[in-house]
């Protein structure tokens, strides 16, 4: 495997010139550049990024942490991250945690060992190292940007939508459709994003002077399966709800099955709204109303914040809130019946 020395020898120049040809081409005369390019082609050389990173003390790589690549919601965000990373000469790699702390800590260790320069977190987990530092009241132990989730007591650049408002609008929409007994299926209790959405749900109820009933608040974990079983539980609650706000689309899709199996219908018996607008949302029966998040923009903003952090501009506690959008489909449309 050819090294920079081989190229230098072959091109009849110094290693410094070869290096410059790659990093600062404008500082090399074009004739020289040509000689180098020729040698590179002949020997099929490609620079050793490890050596370069070691020397430069930065890897030029960021890792995006997703809870699950099975969750169809993250793709747009990753796309956005990559757009900006590419413009800045950075690589993007993905890590999947499957909700396991150890897995996240494993990726965090890659930053500590300088395999990557920073982490963009899409999930609801924080590296153990970070949690410890927070307790000590110290700063972040590594460059970190949160996309979507926020954490109590953690000062960290962060981009998201206004979850409280999104949930409020979803619930409000159900009320406008004539629902009066509105339930919700939330994410895991510790999840701030989920908590924010529950707050929005309650605000909409309060504003419409509808009672808040604890029995109408079920806890899920954002999976289809949990939506199915939460719905099974909800079917037993009297009086029966007539509208349900699901805190993500996957759970809503799981619930559709439970409702179908019970011989009930949507939106006739239950008007339904989800959250995220995943790709399947408009293909289920009936097509799912939902809150669409601007995923690509979230990713772009997150990577911008990461770049600022890495340039030591200290993005600090910068918080970027982007706009969401209520998408009305048949699952909540009681005005015209529903034809699918």
Question: Judged by CB under 7 A, which stretch of 21-29, 90-98, 125-133, 301-309 contacts DNA?
Answer: 21-29
Task: Verify binding: residue 292, a copy of itself, rule CB under 8 A.
Answer: no
Distance CA 197, CA 216 (A): 14
110 binds, among a copy of itself, DNA, none (CB under 5 to 8 A by kind): a copy of itself
Task: Verify binding: residue 3, DNA, rule CB under 7 A.
Answer: yes
Specify whether the CB–CB gap between 57 and 117 falls below 8 A. no
Task: Verify binding: residue 251, a copy of itself, rule CB under 8 A.
Answer: no
Q: How far is CA 266 from CA 45, 220, 223, in A?
A: 62, 20, 20
158-161/144-147 β-pairing: parallel
29 binds, among DNA, a copy of itself, none (CB under 5 to 8 A by kind): DNA
Task: Verify binding: residue 54, a copy of itself, rule CB under 8 A.
Answer: yes
Map residue 217 onto helix, strand or coil.
Answer: strand
What mask, x for binding DNA by CB under 7 A, covers residues 30 to 69? -xx------------x-xx--xx-xxxx------------
User: Which residue, among 175, 184, 188, has the nearest Cα to 245 in the 3D structure?
Assistant: 184
Distance CA 172, CA 271 (A): 12
Give me the least distance between CB of 58 and DNA, in Å please.
9
Distance CA 288, CA 338 (A): 11
66 binds, among DNA, a copy of itself, none (CB under 5 to 8 A by kind): a copy of itself
Map residue 76 onto helix, strand or coil.
Answer: helix
115 binds, among a copy of itself, DNA, none (CB under 5 to 8 A by kind): a copy of itself
Tokens of 27: 């500082």
Tokens of 274: 């989800």
Contacts of 23 (CB under 8 A, 6+ apart): none
| List 14, 23, 112, 325, residue binding a copy of itself (CB under 8 A) | 112
Beta carbon nearer to a copy of itself, 72 or 131: 72
Distance CA 179, CA 6 (A): 75
Helices (H), 122-162: 128-135
Task: Verify binding: residue 29, DNA, rule CB under 7 A.
Answer: yes
Distance CA 188, CA 176 (A): 28
Give me the least distance between CB of 36 and DNA, in Å please.
9
Binding site for DNA (CB under 7 A): 1, 3-5, 12-20, 22-23, 27-29, 31-32, 45, 47-48, 51-52, 54-57
Binding site for a copy of itself (CB under 8 A): 46-51, 53-54, 59, 61, 63, 66, 68-70, 72, 74-75, 78-79, 91, 93-96, 98, 106, 109-110, 112-115, 224, 228, 253-254, 256-257, 260-261, 279-280, 282-285, 287, 339-340
């Amino acid at each position: 495997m050819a090294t920079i020395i081989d190229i230098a020898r072959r091109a009849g120049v110094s290693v410094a010139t070869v290096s410059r040809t790659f990093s600062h081409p404008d500082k090399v005369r074009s004739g020289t550049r040509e000689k180098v390019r020729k040698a590179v082609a002949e020997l099929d050389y490609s620079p050793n990024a490890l050596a370069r990173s070691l020397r430069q003390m930065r890897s030029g790589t960021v890792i995006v942490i997703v809870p699950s690549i099975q969750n169809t919601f993250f793709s747009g965000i990753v796309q956005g991250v990559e757009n900006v990373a590419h413009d800045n000469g950075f690589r993007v790699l993905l890590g999947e945690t499957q909700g396991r702390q150890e897995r996240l800590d494993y990726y965090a260790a890659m930053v500590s060992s300088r395999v990557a320069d920073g982490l963009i977190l899409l999930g609801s987990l924080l590296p153990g190292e970070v949690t410890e530092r927070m307790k000590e009241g110290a700063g972040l132990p590594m460059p970190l940007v949160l996309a979507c989730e926020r954490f109590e007591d953690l000062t960290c650049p962060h981009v998201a939508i206004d979850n409280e408002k999104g949930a409020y609008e979803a619930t409000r929409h159900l009320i406008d459709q004539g629902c009066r007994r509105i339930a919700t299926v939330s994410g895991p209790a510790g999840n701030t994003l989920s908590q924010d959405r529950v707050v929005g749900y309650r605000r909409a109820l309060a504003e419409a002077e509808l009672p808040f009933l604890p029995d109408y608040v079920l806890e899920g974990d954002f999976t289809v399966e949990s939506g199915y079983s939460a719905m099974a539980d909800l079917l037993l609650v009297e009086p029966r709800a007539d509208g349900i706000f699901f805190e993500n689309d996957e759970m809503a899709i799981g619930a559709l099955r439970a409702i179908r199996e019970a011989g009930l219908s949507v939106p006739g018996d239950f008007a339904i709204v989800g959250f995220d607008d995943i790709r399947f949302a408009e293909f289920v029966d009936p097509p799912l109303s939902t809150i669409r998040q601007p995923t690509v923009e979230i990713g772009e903003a997150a990577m911008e914040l990461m770049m600022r952090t890495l340039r030591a501009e200290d993005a600090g506690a910068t918080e970027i809130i982007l706009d969401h959008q209520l998408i009305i489909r048949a699952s909540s449309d009681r005005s015209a019946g529903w034809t699918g």
